[in-house]
Chain A
Amino acid sequence: MKALLKYREVWLLAAIAVLIGLISMRFPGFAAPGNVRQVFNDTSILMILALGQMVVILTRSIDLSMAANLCFTGMVVAMLNAAHPAIPIPLLIVIALLVGLVLGAISGLLVWRLNIPSIVVTLGTLTIYRGATFVISGGAWVNADQMSPDFIGLQRAAFLGIPVLSWIALLVIALFFLVMTRTALGRSIYAIGVNPTASVYAGIDVGRTKFIVFCISGMIGGLCGYLWISRYVIASVEVANGYELNIIAACVIGGISIAGGIGSVGGAVLGALFLGIISNALPVINISPFWQMAISGSAIILAVVLNARGERRQGRIILKKAEAA
């Protein structure tokens, strides 16, 4: 039991349980299985994005361009679908992944080859990608009636009673879990975050790994481009404006240290879920949606304060051990 309490994820899970409990007191239907499934589905895109951001943050970098990447790629696939409805959706998803990969690789190359801090690079690519979305679309929107039924319908189709969107999220979570805990790449990503210098001596190519990490976040951004557009059935320049900070917020609430090296797949998923539950619950318990921003802001600050406490305590224990030795 004590060992369990050490895990941040357990605390987060408890916080989510309390949150659901409190909401259920005002609105008993909230914890019903059907509604929980709905909340999970609503949060799927944020969860996937948070996982992509997590691998970047773990290496002491940050990707501010994810939402702009999502917006650009979403516009590309929406325009392709509107112009050539015959293109099968799986091929469109592959295109989305590739476009996202290229956009992520551009940021990654600048970080790798020129050693420019990632926050500066992605601040630049963020504005460029959003501007590029305007250029390719000419400022026009792609509306629901221009999209093919398959384009919109795929993620809504149910498989074993669960929408495909949720399945995609589960698949991505499983994939990230495998990569982070069972592969050399996952270990190197953690190692770079904990100590980049030591990683170099351990034979890890830090620059190249950072490049790979940006490719991953780019592909995730691209995938979510398709998912976002087909979910909200509108593609415009304004799509996911400012969402990059929501993604980072989900990571921070999930206990991923902005200083790198600390964080887990479970944390990122739960962090996203926490934000998703809040945004789903507010209308249900009759609180104006205008409260959402302030509440998630407070949640972020609270999460950082708690995380910092946890990290500091760990540090002290190590020191005590060293003194005893």
Chain B
Amino acid sequence: MTDTPAPRHIPNRLDKPFTSAIFSWEALLVVVAVAIFAINSFASPYFLDAWSLSDLTFNFTEKALIALAMALLIISGEIDLSVAAIIALASTMMGMAVQAGAGTPALVAIGIVVGLGCGAFNGLLVTRLGLPSIVVTIGTMSLFRGVAFIILGDQAYKGYPASFAFFGQGYVWWVVSFELTLFLVAAVVYWFLLHRTSFGRRVFAIGNNPVAAQFSGVRVGRIKFILFCLTGLMAGIASVLITSRLGSTRPSIAQGYELEVITMVVLGGVSILGGAGSILGVVLAAFIMGLVTFGLGLLNVPGIVMSIFIGLLLIIVIALPILWRRVRRERFA
């Protein structure tokens, strides 16, 4: 490397014409988000209110926090289905600590450490033993939640200290909740990590071709391990938030979150096959999902029916560009 002349500027990607920026995934998401926002404000008179918009954010911030790390993990070609189970286990451990008389700082530490530990366990199984992550995390998903069930059974932990409620219910300034602030800060951190550091470039390299990345001197195993740890860490943080918001722990807490988190990531334009995606897309997708569920909620649509819209949104947003490209190709062929 010493004999190379002046360092050449290598752009992240080649310059694109303006039109392709308009047709980019993020642009499509912005259009969808604005459309849903507009429909919502027409459909319900209660929507355009600072406090309702603030409530809206509680719908998705916990899942979106995990989605940030999950995006990196999926870009690297792996997946973690155990995040909701990690939330349950971390929450159960916090509940046990409360029974033992732990204070708020200890609770937060326990939640985060348990999450990190679970993520590291997944990472070790995947990277050390070379197992497919989808199967490993289906297994650990049953294991982590299973341990929560063994400890709690059909009981619930309550009696969290009053100061603990701040994380899930507190506001930093006016209507800006602590959860939203944390999410925005985390989004910036993850954006920087993925799009502005060599670590992020390595994550993309691994997702595009792990073998080539390995031969290029990228420590594939170590980076994947770090990504699993990060995902576990975010699940631990989400566990602190959700436990604080609900004020109680049941072993069935956050059931089904894993699929919603993955929907968010995929809707955000991250390729499920790895190698492509952006944090901006994931953040936009999180807001879209929050807007859809909250808007329908204001119209008294039951949660399970909302899932139809989320499912349709997922399939349509992915199918449309494919169909669009096909139509254009046929026209110009």
- Tell me the A residues contacting B by CB distance below 8 Å: 62, 64, 110, 114-117, 119-121, 123-128, 130-132, 134-135, 139, 237, 242, 245, 248-249, 252, 258-259, 288, 290-298, 300-301, 304-305, 308, 312
A128-B312 contact given A139-B302, A290-B153, A294-B146, CB 8 Å threshold: yes
Question: Does B181 sit at the interface, judged by CB under 8 A?
Answer: no
- Chain A residues lying within 8 Å of B323, measured Cβ to Cβ, are 114
A131 touches B318 (CB 8 A): no
A297 touches B306 (CB 8 A): no
Question: Does B310 sit at the interface, judged by CB under 8 A?
Answer: yes
A120-B314 contact given A290-B149, A294-B150, A295-B146, CB 8 Å threshold: yes
CB distance from B86 to the nearest CB of A (A): 13
B311 touches A245 (CB 8 A): no
Query: CA separation between A261 and B312, bound complex, in Å?
Result: 31
A252 touches B305 (CB 8 A): no
- Chain B residues lying within 8 Å of A119, measured Cβ to Cβ, are 134, 272
Query: CA separation between A288 and B155, bound complex, in Å?
Result: 14
Residue of A at shortest CB range from B305? A131
A135-B315 contact given A123-B266, A245-B138, CB 8 Å threshold: no
B141 touches A297 (CB 8 A): yes
- Chain B residues lying within 8 Å of A139, measured Cβ to Cβ, are 302, 304
B129 touches A308 (CB 8 A): yes
- Chain A residues lying within 8 Å of B145, measured Cβ to Cβ, are 293, 297
A124 touches B305 (CB 8 A): no
Report the contact-size class of chain B (Cβ under 8 Å from the partner): 35 or more
Question: Does B211 sit at the interface, judged by CB under 8 A?
Answer: no
A290 touches B140 (CB 8 A): no
CB distance from B182 to the nearest CB of A (A): 27
A300-B272 contact given A124-B312, A294-B150, CB 8 Å threshold: no
Query: CA separation between A295 and B272, bound complex, in Å?
Result: 30
Query: CA separation between A128 and B307, bound complex, in Å?
Result: 6
Query: CA separation between A305 and B315, bound complex, in Å?
Result: 34
**Among the listed A130, A132, A304, which residue makes an inter-chain contact with B136, where contact means beta carbons less than 8 Å apart?**
A304
Query: CA separation between A288 and B152, bound complex, in Å?
Result: 11
B273 touches A127 (CB 8 A): no
- Chain B residues lying within 8 Å of A295, measured Cβ to Cβ, are 146
Question: Does B319 sit at the interface, judged by CB under 8 A?
Answer: yes
Query: CA separation between A293 and B142, bound complex, in Å?
Result: 5
Query: CA separation between A64 and B311, bound complex, in Å?
Result: 13
CB distance from A262 to the nearest CB of B (A): 12
CB distance from A300 to the nearest CB of B (A): 3
CB distance from A219 to the nearest CB of B (A): 21
B272 touches A117 (CB 8 A): yes
Query: CA separation between A305 and B256, bound complex, in Å?
Result: 26
Question: Does B52 sit at the interface, judged by CB under 8 A?
Answer: no
A131-B306 contact given A126-B311, A258-B132, A291-B146, CB 8 Å threshold: yes
CB distance from B246 to the nearest CB of A (A): 20
Query: CA separation between A95 and B287, bound complex, in Å?
Result: 40
B306, B311, B312: most-surrounded residue (chain A CB, <10 A): B311
